[in-house]
Amino acid sequence: MGEHSYSAAAIEQLARDAAPYGITWLEEPIPPEERQAYVELRQQRIVPIAAGEHEASLAGFLEIVTGGAVDIAQADASHHGGFKTVKPVLEACVEHGIEFAFHNWGTLLECICNAHLGVCFEANTCSWLEYPCYRHRGQDIMYPYQLADDILRDPLDIRDGDLVLPDGPGLGVSVDESVVERYPFLPGPWSTFRLHGTTEELAMSADHVQKWEKK
C-alpha cells in the first residue's frame, strides 16, 4: 500500500492483539516478496501465518514451504497452473509438516476442482477448502457474484460444513454453458484505485491487484 504499508512493528503488534481471539491464521500480513520478514514473524510463534495466493511459480511456493515462511500454504488450482503445479506444493507440505489451505474466491467450479485434488491428501495436511460467501448468499460485507453459483447446473452438496464430492464422470458436475451468453465478457477491471503518496493506478482483477495500463 505504498507509504501506508504496515511496518514490521505494526504487523507484530497486530498479531499480538489478535492472538487472544484464537484466530485460525493471519493471512499475507507482509508483501509476498519479503521472505525473510515472513520467516522472522513466524519464528515468534504469535499466531499461525498463511500465505501463497500471490505466488507466481512452483519455485516460489517451494521457497515459502521449505524456508520456514508459513504455517499454512495457500494455493488454488485454477490460478496456479492447475493440478500439475499445486500437487507438488501439497507434497512439499506433507514432507515438511506444513498445513495447506485451498484459496478460492471464484466459482463453484473452481471449488470442486480444488476439492478433487485435496481429497488425495490426508486431512491433517489439506485441511481447508475455501467456499466464498458472496453477498447474494447473504454476506453483506462481500460483493455479489451470482455467476459463481450459476456456472453449475446443480448446487454443491455441503453437509455440516463439509463438501461431499460427487461420484459422476469427470469432476462429477454439469457446467451450465449458457453462462457464456448470460454473463458476457466486459473488458477492463471491475475497479481501479490510487494509493496515497504514489502516482500508480492499480486495478482489481478477481482478488488480485496489478498495475493498470490504459490502451
* 66-to-9, 54, 55, 175, 177 alpha-carbon distances in Å: 25, 17, 14, 37, 41
Q: Is the pLDDT assigned to residue 188 strictly greater than 70?
A: yes
Which residues are within 8 A (CB) of 159 and not within 5 positions of it... i.e. 6 or more apart?
A: none
* 201-to-4, 204, 215 alpha-carbon distances in Å: 15, 10, 14
Confidence bin at 28 (pLDDT 50/70/90): very high
Q: Mean pLDDT throughout 55-70?
A: 95
Report pLDDT digits (tens) over 134-181.
888 888 888 888 999 999 999 999 999 899 999 999 999 999 999 999
Q: Mean pLDDT throughout 28-55?
A: 95
Query: What is the pLDDT at residue 204?
Result: 62
Q: Which domains does the chain have, with CATH numbers?
A: 2-180 (3.20.20.120), 185-215 (no CATH)
Q: Is the pLDDT assigned to residue 39 strictly greater than 90?
A: yes
Report pLDDT digits (tens) over 101-123.
999 888 999 999 999 999 999 99
Q: Retrieve residue 3's grid coordinates.
A: 507509504
Mean pLDDT taken over the chain:
89
